[in-house]
Chains A and B, each alone.
Chain A
Amino acid sequence: MFYRENGQFKTSYRSDQQIFAIAQDRWAILAFIAFAFVGVPFLVDEYMFRAILIPFLILSLAALGVNILVGYCGQISLGSGAFMAVGAYMAYNTYIRIEGMPLIIAILAGGFFATLVGVLFGIPSLRVKGLYLAVATLAAQFFCDWAFLRIGWFTNNNASGSVSVSNLNVFGLSINSPLQKYLFCLAFLVVFALLAKNLVRSAIGREWMAIRDMDVAAAVIGIRPVYAKLTAFAVSSFIVGVAGALWGFVHLGSWEPAAFSIDRSFQLLFMVIIGGMGSIMGSFFGAAFIVILPIFLNQFLPAVGGLFGVSISTAAVAHTEFMIFGALIVWFLIVEPHGLAKLWSVAKQKLRLWPFPH
């Protein structure tokens, strides 16, 4: 009823090809972003900011990066944790080694170095495909773990191998309170999501998708696999690197290589698979599912127990959390193998017809 595009005529290519071709979509998304910037700060408390929203925003950004590589270009990567680590450690080094380095430049520098490492480890993708490539990118993971644990230079020769930053500020504004951190991450996310969305709609994005769908055919019609694959690695690792820098600088404040372990790589890959491969929106859904659900279950189970007068032990809660979480992943993959983003688009399709489906 409300979600109809009747009467919205496209009179130019420009209006036909915009990101949200339907006016309602456009307004809804703009309102949502405005709400995230203006409304959310009045509604949520410090816990929501620090424990849920900030990790969610940062990991959404990382999932967005991984989605470009895995979802759009079809190159399965298990090195995302490593690229995050490169982003975080190189941003740290840029930040402390150069006097007066602005924070944003340091974070982008982290992304830049992650790009270099990503392209380097992307070279095998020219020869190996699919699961074999996943194994090859694992090398990036192990190499980075090793480098940040062993090479003292990266950690500023800190005895314990752990690094930390504090007193962040941008243009003289300090980034210390949860609200400031939230807005800082949100701004990054919005900018990168817009960039990514436009990239995947552009020529290069179509090249990635052509490579994903059938690389031989893509090569035949004149797409250079080397260029397409390596640009996908570059763009993806840049975004993942920036997310890593934010994770270290803004969320943790102090970190060690274990914060970017192989578990993180799997987590990001799962976000993309559950959220929806080849969908920008899916990255957000996937991140929400993986970040928020375990925390929610962890608090929800004792609350349910409390209703029935049963106190559940901490260990039992943790175990149940894993079981339910695992079961939900399997269930979602069976019910909707194309991810949560597909559910979203199905819902939109139905809404167009609602309430007169015939």
Chain B
Amino acid sequence: MKLRQLVLATTVAAASLASALVSTVATAQTKEQFFPVLVYRTGAYAPNGVPFANGYVDYLKLVNARGGINGVKVSFEECETGYATDRGVECYERLKGKNGGATVFQPLSTGITFALTEKAPGDKIPLVTAGYGRSESADGGVFKWNFPLAGTYWVAGDVIIQDIAKKAGGADKLKGQHIALVYHDSPFGKEAIPILQERAAMHGFKLSLLPVTHPGVEQKSTWLQIRRDRPDYVVNWGWGVMNSTLLKEAQATGYPREKIYGVWWAGAEPDVKDVGMGAKGYNAITMQHGAEKGSAVVKEVLEKLHAKNLGTGPKDEVGEVLYMRGLFSAMFAIEGVRQAQERYGKGKVMTGEQARWGYENLNLTQAKLDALGFKGVLRPVSTSCADHMGANWARIHTWNGSKWEFSSDWYQADEQIIKPMVRAAADKYAAEKKIARRTPADCQS
């Protein structure tokens, strides 16, 4: 009884002390551009979340090493979401007002993107979802605060079919073929379905949909079905542990890896490393960049950060696919602010609202990208009021057993197909939400 009382008393005391501590540690206001970083370094998807987070943070550090954005230093804070939507929302609420206000959020999860899409307009904070998120948010007329920069899942799906068509010897050869979509059963996985259905109706190939439940380690029945139906191609819309499981199952089933295409979340080193040679020939789409160990920006990160022990994460992972993804997402976050400074005053800290203008008027020419160290990595990206995506180029890369190598030239997604789909989906969203399309006057502001 004594012990219990003692322990209880200490708990109460510790709790009150702790709450006092948390409130006093609130940081002082600074003249820095604040970037919240939502990450998932733990949980089932950590193998993919960690390199992304490392790349993102490294680029922000690099910007400071380069002297900031026109002299404005960058500050950041990580918040662990564990890929859970409610924790992501909590992180958003925690970070949005800190250090003078968040510039931009990159939710790094389709579920969190959906939740924040409802909240961000009220708080006037833009959301950048480079290559992921909801595909219809490319329509800036309805989604004023969302920026799926440099590609969406629909672009990815479209380009995968283009590459398959090219391998088959032309789009007309796709008729009567059979493509199986093995997808992660979540909003992320389902994003692929509309574009593949559209293409299937257009070319007359058969599309079968094979969902795999979270987290994706149980795929026996899926592969039984693939073994029975023998589809000509398999598209893998998976992620995390699902990808390596899929490749192992493909190996066990004897399905040729050359005929499997992965989305960009399924095309990085952690996905194939365990399988090694067993994954040789596996293709995945990259939204512009792949593993870019030789690029100028990676060399700069190694020299300015990792050589001085300022880097984030292991040195030998710098330049891997998802690390580059983080780097590239942070680059957009920074360049939007730089663009906004052109209008609202160089060397000033931008608010979220001002940064939004910057993301909407991005004009990253090849010369600018080359100067940032992205020569040969990225193609120009330029956004507008109507088009919040800015570029629809993609490439395919293939795992050769030890590293990813590009196996295709640049593809451009077919705007003829995607534009109407984006518009229809955005209109549906607008009708559901009873919001009107932005007027040309709103675009000017």
Residues of chain A at the chain B interface (Cβ within 8 Å): 46-47, 50-51, 55, 96, 149, 156, 159-162, 164, 166-167, 176, 251-256, 258-259, 261, 295-296, 298-300, 303-304, 306-307, 313-315, 317-319, 322, 335, 343
Contacts and interface: CB of A to CB of B under 8 A. Distances in A.
Max chain A Cβ within 10 angstroms of own Cβ: one of B39, B46, B86, B185: B86
Interface in B64-118: 78-80, 82, 85-86, 89-90, 93-94, 97, 110-111, 114-115, 117-118
A154 B112 CA distance: 20
Contacts of B194: 159
B89 A315 contact: no
Chain B interface residue bracket vs A: 35 or more
A259 B115 CA distance: 11
Contact of B186 (A47, A256, A307, A317): A256
A159 B89 contact: no
A284 to B, nearest CB: 17
Given A160-B134, A318-B80, A296 B18 contact: yes
Interface string B179-199: 000000111101101100000
B432 A96 contact: yes
B111 A300 contact: no
A51, A251, A295, A306 pick with most chain B CB within 10 angstroms: A51
12 contacts: A50-B89, A160-B134, A160-B190, A161-B186, A162-B110, A166-B433, A296-B22, A299-B22, A300-B18, A307-B21, A314-B53, A318-B80
Nearest to B134: A160
A258 B22 contact: no
Given A96-B432, A256-B187, 20 more contacts: A47-B93, A50-B93, A55-B86, A55-B90, A160-B110, A160-B188, A161-B190, A166-B118, A252-B85, A252-B86, A254-B114, A254-B117, A256-B85, A256-B111, A259-B111, A296-B18, A296-B19, A303-B21, A314-B41, A315-B46
A41 B401 CA distance: 60
A53 B118 CA distance: 19
Contacts of A300: 18, 21-22
B434 interface: yes
Contacts of B434: 167
A319 B46 CA distance: 12
A343 B11 CA distance: 13
Contacts of A251: 86, 89
B187 A160 contact: yes
B184 to A, nearest CB: 11
A335 B86 CA distance: 30
Residue from A47, A55, A162 with most neighbouring chain B CB atoms (10 Å) = A162
Interface of B: 4, 7-8, 18-19, 21-22, 25, 39, 41-42, 46, 50, 53, 78-80, 82, 85-86, 89-90, 93-94, 97, 110-111, 114-115, 117-119, 122, 134, 185-188, 190-191, 193-194, 211, 214, 425, 432-434
Contacts of B25: 303, 306
B190 A335 contact: no
A167 B90 contact: no
A50 to B, nearest CB: 5
B7 A335 contact: yes
Nearest to B191: A160
A319 B42 contact: yes
B39 A314 contact: yes
B425 A159 contact: yes
Contacts of A256: 85, 111, 114, 186-187
A253 B19 CA distance: 29
Given A252-B85, A258-B186, A315 B80 contact: yes
A314 B78 contact: yes
Contact of A47 (B94, B117, B214): B94
A42 B109 CA distance: 34
Contact of B97 (A46, A303, A315): A46
Nearest to B23: A303
Nearest to A331: B7
Contacts of A303: 21-22, 25
B90 A258 contact: no
A162 B107 CA distance: 16
B20 to A, nearest CB: 10
Contacts of A307: 21
Nearest to A254: B114
Nearest to B154: A159
A253 B118 contact: yes
- Counting from the closest, the 7 A-B pairs by CB-CB distance are A253-B118, A315-B41, A160-B187, A51-B93, A314-B78, A254-B114, A303-B25
Contacts of A259: 85-86, 111
Contacts of A176: 122
Given A160-B190, A167-B433, A315 B42 contact: yes
A303 B22 CA distance: 6
Contacts of A343: 8
A255 B93 contact: no
A156, A159, A167, A296: which has the most chain B beta carbons within 10 Å? A159
Contact of A254 (B79, B115, B186): B115
Contact of B187 (A50, A51, A162, A315): A162
Contacts of A166: 118, 433
